[in-house]
């Protein structure tokens, strides 16, 4: 009772001061609901104690106070119940109010970061902050999905709960953003993380507004399309927010480098060299071993810290570049057009599966418990190994002199087959000759 009464008084004052604030109205409704139970217990206790009061005047005053309190509680229960029935849209409005406040906080963090005054809280570290942002972004995504489902079904109660959960998840995202920005020494990272989070808040605001519009006009056939479009924008903003993490940027840089190299593979220009095909082939084999090991390290690092994944991504990018360079050099040393096409095609395949590997590792790192992500990562790693082996086989068969040997062997095998056929005919004809 002593705890709830100040909250109720605060709720009344807040509602009177901010009559247009949905948050203030909801706080009053919630404070009223929370006050009723302990107040009812107080009334019951007073009724039980009344017969034990010896002073008749005091007893009458107590009985009158109990009656007054009972009537007031009944009125409060009725009023709060009616208000709760009418406050479904207030939940969305309150969530919008909270998002406005969160954006203000992020703006303050941005100014503090620019001035060098944004410092970590006790116990905050780079790794813990990054993992916190990754997990909270998933919570936001889940809350958004619930909000979409509720809006699609036209369930007002569910919409109110989902809107509140969305606002709470975005509150956690804002706190994680501050944590990441404060633990980073790179001013650009600070700015990018905070700006990305503000974009998430902005897109989420649009989604809540669209949800409110859909609830007010449930028969509009365009509701679902608009909701889906805004939800995609929120999802994209969340991805950008996570990608702004320092360690995630290293993975993105590796993916970008692989993408750029795939464009080089489309060119008909090959690196020049004074070395022999055999020397380059040995170099390519060594690069293949390193790349395969780097792929294995990526799988291991995806289950570790963001820092480990960043280091493994840089190592994979370096090994990949060496493998591609030696492969293109071998293609240039080959004088056969078909062979060149096979080598370049193999390199393109390695490029494609390498991008898939890094994307899968990034997904596992961001959300280790997501279904099927680890299986996709293992499949991507196997695909890298298989594509490397296929290319090594192509290069081995394409070595100078190897084709000539293969052609000679095929010719010899063809002659042997002819001789074998002739021998069969001769053996069959000999009895006939004898019989003649």
HEC profile of the chain:
CCCHHHHHHHHHHHHHHCCCCHHHHHHHHHHHHHHHHHHHHHHHHHHHHHHHCCCHHHHHHHHHHHHHHHHHHHHHHHHHHHHHHCCHHHHHHHHHHHHHHHHHHHHHHHHHHHCCCCCCCCCCCHHHHHHHHHHHHHHHHHHHHHHHHHHHHCCHHHHHHHHHHHHHHHHHHHHHHHHHHHHCCCHHHHHHHHHHHHHHHHHHHHHHHHHHHHHHCCCCCCHHHHHHHHHHHHHHHHHHHHHCCHHHHHHHHHHHHHHHHHHHHCCCCCCCCCCCHHHHHHHHHHHHHHHHHHHHHHHHHCCCCHHHHHHHHHHHHHHHHHHHHHHHHHHHHCCCHHHHHHHHHHHHHHHHHHHHHHHHHHHHHHCCCCCCHHHHHHHHHHHHHHHHHHHHHHHHHCCCCHHHHHHHHHHHHHHHHHHHHHHHHHHHHHHHHHHC
CATH superfamily of 89-243: Talin, central domain (1.20.1420.10)
The Cβ of residue 297 has, within 10 Å, a number of other Cβ atoms equal to: 18
pTM of the model: 0.62
Do the beta carbons of residue 305 and residue 127 sit within 8 Å? Answer: yes
Q: How far apart are CA 62 and CA 28, in angstroms?
A: 28
Do the beta carbons of residue 123 and residue 187 sit within 8 Å? Answer: no
* Fold match between domain 89-243 and domain 246-400: yes
The reported pLDDT for the residue numbered 23 is 65
The reported pLDDT for the residue numbered 289 is 92
Closest CA to 204 of 249, 174, 182: 174
**10-residue averages of pLDDT along the chain (436 residues):** 66 63 65 73 76 75 79 76 65 88 96 92 87 88 90 82 92 95 88 95 94 83 88 91 80 87 77 86 90 92 82 92 91 84 91 92 75 86 92 78 46 49 49 45
The reported pLDDT for the residue numbered 409 is 39
Name the CATH topology of 4-85: 1.20.120
Q: How far apart are CA 287 and CA 309, in angstroms?
A: 21
Measure the CA angle with vertex 217, ends 216 and 223; round to 5°.
Answer: 115
The reported pLDDT for the residue numbered 196 is 95
Domain limits of the chain? 4-85, 89-243, 246-400, 404-436
Name the CATH topology of 246-400: A middle domain of Talin 1 (1.20.1420)
């Amino acid at each position: 009772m002593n705890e709830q009464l100040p909250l109720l008084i605060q709720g009344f004052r807040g509602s009177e001061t901010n009559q247009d604030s949905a948050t203030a109205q909801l706080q009053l409704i919630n404070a009223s609901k929370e006050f009723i139970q302990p107040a009812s217990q107080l009334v019951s206790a007073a009724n039980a104690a009344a017969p034990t009061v010896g002073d008749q005047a005091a007893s009458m005053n107590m009985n009158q106070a109990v009656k007054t309190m009972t009537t007031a509680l009944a009125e409060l229960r009725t009023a709060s119940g009616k208000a709760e029935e009418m406050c479904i849209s207030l939940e969305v409005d309150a969530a919008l109010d909270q998002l406005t406040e969160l954006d203000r906080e992020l703006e303050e963090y941005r100014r503090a970061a620019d001035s060098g005054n944004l410092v970590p809280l006790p116990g905050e570290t780079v790794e813990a902050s990054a993992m916190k942002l990754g997990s909270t972004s998933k919570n936001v995504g889940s809350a958004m999905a619930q909000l979409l489902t509720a809006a699609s079904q036209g369930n007002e109660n569910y919409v109110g709960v989902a809107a509140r959960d969305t606002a709470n998840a975005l509150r956690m995202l804002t706190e994680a953003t501050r944590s990441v920005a404060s633990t980073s020494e790179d001013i650009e990272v600070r700015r990018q993380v905070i700006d990305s989070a503000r974009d998430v808040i902005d897109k989420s605001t649009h989604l809540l507004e669209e949800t409110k519009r859909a609830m007010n006009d449930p028969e509009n056939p365009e509701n679902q399309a608009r909701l889906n479009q805004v939800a995609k924008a929120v999802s994209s903003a969340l991805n950008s927010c996570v990608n702004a993490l320092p360690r995630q940027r290293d993975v993105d840089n590796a993916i970008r480098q692989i993408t750029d190299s795939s464009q080089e593979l489309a060119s008909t220009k090959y690196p020049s060299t004074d070395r022999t095909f055999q020397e380059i082939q040995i170099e390519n084999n060594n690069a293949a071993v390193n790349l395969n090991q780097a792929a294995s390290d990526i799988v291991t690092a995806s289950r570790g810290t963001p820092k480990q994944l960043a280091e493994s991504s840089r190592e994979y990018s370096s090994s990949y570049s060496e493998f591609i360079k030696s492969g293109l050099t071998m293609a240039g040393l080959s004088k056969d057009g078909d062979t060149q096409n096979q080598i370049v095609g193999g390199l393109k395949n390695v490029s494609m599966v390498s991008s898939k590997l890094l994307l899968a590792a990034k997904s596992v790192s961001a959300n280790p418990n997501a279904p099927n992500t680890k299986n996709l990562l293992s499949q991507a790693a196997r695909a890298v190994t298989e594509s490397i082996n296929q290319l090594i086989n192509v290069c081995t068969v394409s070595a100078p002199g190897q084709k000539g040997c293969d052609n000679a062997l095929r010719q010899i095998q063809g002659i042997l087959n002819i001789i074998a056929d002739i021998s069969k005919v001769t053996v069959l004809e000999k009895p006939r000759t004898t019989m003649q």
